[in-house]
Every structure is written in structure tokens, then in C-alpha cells.
A and B are shown apart, each in its own frame.
Chain A
Amino acid sequence: MPGNVPITHYLFLSTALFTLGVIGVLARRNIVIILMSIELILNAVNINLVAFSRHLASVSGQAFAVFIIADAAAEAAVGLGIIIAMFRNRGTIQADELDLLKW
């Protein structure tokens, strides 16, 4: 059963997820949710890579998707570590209450 979904469909899905992730980063105040939105953006990148891997009949895109997933795991580990340290020092995880550098 050969797939017959045009690549534009995958690109539109990726665009939609990317835009939703950007909204999350900009609009939410809970840092954990901001980090989740970043994961959403990375997933949008992965859809593009895998769709183009199929489109161009080359496995390189999937190899890059593996790298992106590894980076996402590293980013989540460090990001959540920073959040825990921040919570321990400041007692809050709301982005707008972390205004130490604000003049």
C-alpha cells in the first residue's frame, strides 16, 4: 500500500505544531510548560526531517531525526535540572516572577 499523502500535508502539520509551540513559549508562564512547548517545536522539526527523508528516498533525514531526539533528551534533562535548582533557590517556577535581572 504505497502512501499517497503529498508532502505539503506533512509540512502544514509541522507548521501548525511549530506555531503552537511558539505560542506556548511566548504565552505561558509556567516554565515546565514552556519546556514542553520547546519539545513540541523539536517534534515539528522531526516531522519535516522524516517526511523529506521519504520524499527524497534518502535515510539521512532519519539519521538526523535520531540526533534531534538525542538532543531533546539532553535538553530536557538539563532544563528540568535548571528548573529544580531555580525552584530551590527562588521558590517559584512562574517565568514572570523570576525578575532578578529586571531593572
Chain B
Amino acid sequence: MDKVLFLIFAGIAVGAAANLLRSRHPIHSALSLIGVMGALAVLYLLLGAEFIAAVQVIVYAGAIMVLFVFTIMLLNAGAEVPTSGSMLARYLGIPLLALLLLQLVRLLLGQYPPDQASSFGTFVGPTEKIGRLLFTQYLLPFEVTSVLILVAVMGAVVLAGRKP
């Protein structure tokens, strides 16, 4: 059951990601990215990470994608005109990319042989535990992240604000 759900939603995620790269119009890409986020949220639920799944939907599919869609709307970006693709990219890029993927898969299989597949226990990450961890062991990174977000907010306002 879990495996079937995993395969369905992993397929949706990869398909939507491929559609993100394929579609010429930015708004179609943004919608595909929302599809990826939604499918990944379901996978997080399968992994027992309820808090991460909720944050994924609220922050990623909600806040960040709204920002993207607003920017696309603001810039009124039309469809991208495909260039006449260089020969080098076609005949060197695709084999090199396949090589990269194969190397990554080989590395993973070397680390975790499939016959030694670990079955997950009944472990779930309760939100309370994550919060406790954030405010004890990871207190410093947590505070640094808050400073980072403050700086990002000021940077975004300065960069995108109207010039006097």
C-alpha cells in the first residue's frame, strides 16, 4: 500500500518537474512546481513527517509560489523563444548528464544495497519533538535563521522598492 502510494506520488513529482522544464510559459512552470510541492507533501506524510508536510504546503505551495506567480504577473513575461540549440549542448550535454545521474545512482547503491532495504518502523516525528529540538539543540541556528529572514526581507524591500 505504502509502496503504491509512493510510486504514484513520486511519479507525479517527477512528471511535474519534467513539465516545469518543458513548458515555455513561466506560469505553466509555476503551476507544475506547485504540483511537485503537493506530491512531495504527500510523500512527507508517508514518511510520518506531518509537520514538514504542513509547512511544505503552507510555506512552499502557499507563500513562495504566490511570490513567484506575482513576479511573473508583474513582469508580464511572455513565452520563451527557443534558441537554435547548440550542437555542443546536444551531443555533449546529454551524455554527460546521463553520466552524472548514473554516478549518483551507483554511489547510492554502493552505500545502501537494495537487498539490505531498511523497513521503516512506526517512528513518527511529532511536532512537539521538532519544536523542542529547535529551541534546545538547534537554538543558535534557529536564531541565525531569524536574522537571515530579517535581512532577506530588508533586502527584498530595498531591491524591489520604487526608486525615489
Contacts and interface: CB of A to CB of B under 8 A. Distances in A.
Contact of B33 (A6, A18, A39, A75): A39
A81 B52 contact: no
A21 B16 CA distance: 12
Contact of B125 (A53, A78, A96): A53
Interface residues of A, number: 72
A91 B109 CA distance: 47
The main secondary structure of chain B at its interface with chain A is: helix
B134 A85 contact: no
Interface in A8-24: 8-13, 15-24
A73 B149 contact: yes
Given A17-B14, A40-B36, A81-B159, A3 B46 contact: yes
Contact of B20 (A6, A7, A33): A33
17 contacts: A3-B47, A5-B3, A6-B118, A16-B14, A17-B14, A20-B17, A26-B93, A30-B80, A33-B29, A36-B30, A43-B37, A65-B52, A69-B55, A76-B68, A78-B159, A81-B159, A84-B159
